[in-house]
Amino acid sequence: MVISEIKIKNIRGFLDITLPFNIRPNCANILVAPNGFGKSSISTAFQCATGRKLNASEEQKHSTLRADPSEFSICVDGSWLIADANKNEITDTFDVHVVKSGLTPKAKVPRINGVPIPKPYMEIPSLDLGVSKSKEDLAFDLKAHKAQLGQNAKVVPNFTKKCEAPDIRRSLLASISSIDKLTQVKPRKLFNDIISFAAGASGTKIDISEKAEGKFSEEIEESEHISAVMHITQNIQGVETWLDRVFICYQAADLCKENRANLKKWLEYGAYQASLSAAKAFISDINNAWVGAQVKERKGRVVVEFPEANALSNGQRDLLYFGCNMLRARQVVSKKPCIIVIDEVFDYLDDANIMVAQYFLSKMIDLYKGEGRKVFICLLTHLDPAFFKGYALRKQKTIYLQNGSQKVSNTMKKVVGDREDPAWKEDLEKYFLHYHPDEKNLSELFNDTFGLPKAHGRNHSFYDFLREEWGKCSSEAEEYDPFAVCAHVRIEIERIAYCKLSGEEERDEFINTHGTANKLRFCEAAGVQVPESCYLLGVIYNDALHQRGAIDQSSSIALKLKNIALLGVIKNALDW
């Protein structure tokens, strides 16, 4: 199952757009786009599509089309699921959850000497985990079930005791539709045949189970719905035999037939206990750091109450809210695949909290996989995907939402990727990847050994090629070589610095100084005022020009070059 595209009409910043998604289940899908692209519009579209129809308020629509309808669609394995004002095919197929920052600005207005003095603060609103449940006793008649087996009543398990664990009840609740099907004629006939056989068999409990399994296991496996419930019974503690598992399925079907409402409430309370325990355990684990966060039952709802945001560090606050939102996604008892959209929550965490958040996500994926379900984790971010590399999220996929307009030339692929080749390493670094006023002709080597244009083998012609690519980038052309742009930025900064030195000895020493930053510091020592931006841009050109082996970060580098503010910094650095 793959979600390959999404369409958004009239939601926040998008009038009508189709975006490549190509997200896959049970891994972290990192969706990268620069600030201002519309990541929050994407998360808003998913947020509007969590109910039975698309609920987009006027404030959530595009500013020019407040009165017009909105629509959101996703393409799943080639078929479109549509959510609009009348329907929501997305939630017919998926559970959908969106995690955003929960900070809300507030103000207290105490009076000091009779004068109201507003005191602003940030509030983390209480997080609603769902409806609280009342305890329900199960109306299970063990004696009646034992009576059906006569002298072999010993083989009958006690459904109430065997299935009392909250996690088991949660799993049975998720399979309630399969349990419903067990009340139909064919499954009931099979159950009755097994009961009759077991009642007349001889031997120990294990002997009777083995005989029954040998006779009926094939029929059980052929029944889709019995097999689904049997799969859950594998995880029940104290279930000793195959026949135990079959009888638990039968007892579930009998309870459903006799009093489905009672069975469902009993299962719901177990699922509720499981969810509540998970939430309390999570809060307990971190309570020494995040003092005051508590899970409470209030007015028929389960909520997490937080202290004022000023009482927590930013990282603690964001991580706590993120973790509790992940718990809320787990409150939904379902067998559907799940989409969880996380809107820039990770972007402002430090390294330690990033690692903990990654751990939460990896555990979440494991839980869904353990249930045989698919979960689509979508991280919306403006950060370089390398930021998310870590042991916890080893399985991740990067999708660039905005075309980086990158088209890496063969010249830059070779020059950057093979720069360590002894055939040209020394000359490349001295004459091609740093500024040098002298001509250097490697045209034959470029062409014969590396299959590159001869013109690019002359360093000053190579500089012209780089300048052309920068011109495309700065004028927002559709395609340009991001590595050529970065090389131009470095070489042009060095050329300007070289020209500002007045003496030949200083210029010679500048050329012989290794590294752009060292060259610039030499200029400053010689009395040249070097803008700070020339140093800061080292992050751009050094990342690009110090790749090892195959070039694999063109999208990441091109994405940085799409940042309008960064382009302004580059333009200033090339004109000082």
- Model pLDDT for residues 486-518, shown as the tens digit of each residue: 999 999 999 999 999 988 999 999 999 999 999
Higher pLDDT, 159 or 347: 159
| Mean per-residue pLDDT, 349-378 | 78
pLDDT tops 90 at residue 360: no
| Mean per-residue pLDDT, 68-83 | 94
Higher pLDDT, 295 or 44: 44
Residues 397 and 4: beta-carbon distance below 8 Å: no
Extended strands (E) in 388-452: 396-400
| pLDDT band at residue 349 under the 50/70/90 scheme | low
SS3 3: strand
Nearest to residue 32, comparing CAs of 340, 537, 325, 388? Answer: 388
Sign of CA dihedral 109, 110, 116, 121: negative
Rounded Cα gap, residues 111 and 119, in angstroms: 10
| pLDDT band at residue 305 under the 50/70/90 scheme | confident
Rounded Cα gap, residues 388 and 386, in angstroms: 5
DSSP string covering 262-295, please?
Answer: HHHHHHHHHHHHHHHHHHHHHHHHHTTTSTT-EE
Token digits for 27? 């891994």
Token digits for 90? 């997305």
Q: Which residues contact 14 (CB under 8 A, 6 or more apart)?
A: 8, 38, 41, 45, 62
Q: Which residues contact 380 (CB under 8 A, 6 or more apart)?
A: 31, 33, 39, 40, 42, 43, 341, 342, 343, 344
Of 41-50, 385-394, 435-444, the one with minimum mean pLDDT is 385-394
SS3 64: coil
pLDDT value of residue 290: 45
pLDDT one-digit tens code per residue, 522-569: 999 999 999 998 988 887 888 777 765 555 555 667 777 777 778 888
Residue with tokens 């399969």: 178
Rounded Cα gap, residues 8 and 486, in angstroms: 34
Sign of CA dihedral 334, 338, 343, 345: positive
| pLDDT band at residue 402 under the 50/70/90 scheme | low
Residues 409 and 488: beta-carbon distance below 8 Å: no
Angle between helices 554-561 and 538-545 (to 10 degrees): 160
Rounded Cα gap, residues 62 and 11, in angstroms: 5
| pLDDT band at residue 309 under the 50/70/90 scheme | low
Q: How far apart are the first and last CA of the chain?
A: 54
Rounded Cα gap, residues 414 and 451, in angstroms: 9
Percent of the chain with pLDDT over 70: 84
Burial label for 88, CB within 10 Å (0-12, 13-18, 19+), is buried
pLDDT value of residue 131: 79
Residues 122 and 310: beta-carbon distance below 8 Å: yes
List the Cα angle 421/424/425 in 5-degree steps.
Answer: 65
| Mean per-residue pLDDT, 321-349 | 75
Rounded Cα gap, residues 223 and 246, in angstroms: 12
pLDDT tops 90 at residue 133: no
Rounded Cα gap, residues 104 and 124, in angstroms: 6
Rounded Cα gap, residues 417 and 411, in angstroms: 10
| pLDDT band at residue 110 under the 50/70/90 scheme | low
Residues 441 and 458: beta-carbon distance below 8 Å: yes
pLDDT one-digit tens code per residue, 426-480: 999 999 999 999 999 999 999 999 999 999 999 999 999 999 999 988 887 778 8
| Mean per-residue pLDDT, 212-232 | 92
| Mean per-residue pLDDT, 164-173 | 91
List the Cα angle 381/40/28 in 5-degree steps.
Answer: 40
| Mean per-residue pLDDT, 237-242 | 88
Q: Over the chain, what is the mean pLDDT?
A: 84
Token digits for 84? 């609009």
Higher pLDDT, 344 or 438: 438
Answering whether pTM is above 0.75, one says no
DSSP string covering 135-204, please?
Answer: -------HHHHHHTTGGGGGG---HHHHT-SHHHHHHHHHTHHHHHHTTSHHHHHHHHHHHHHHHH--S-
Question: b/e string for 500-520 if b means 16 or more Cβ within 10 A?
Answer: bbeeeebbeebbebeebeebb
pLDDT one-digit tens code per residue, 511-525: 999 999 999 999 999
Rounded Cα gap, residues 543 and 538, in angstroms: 8
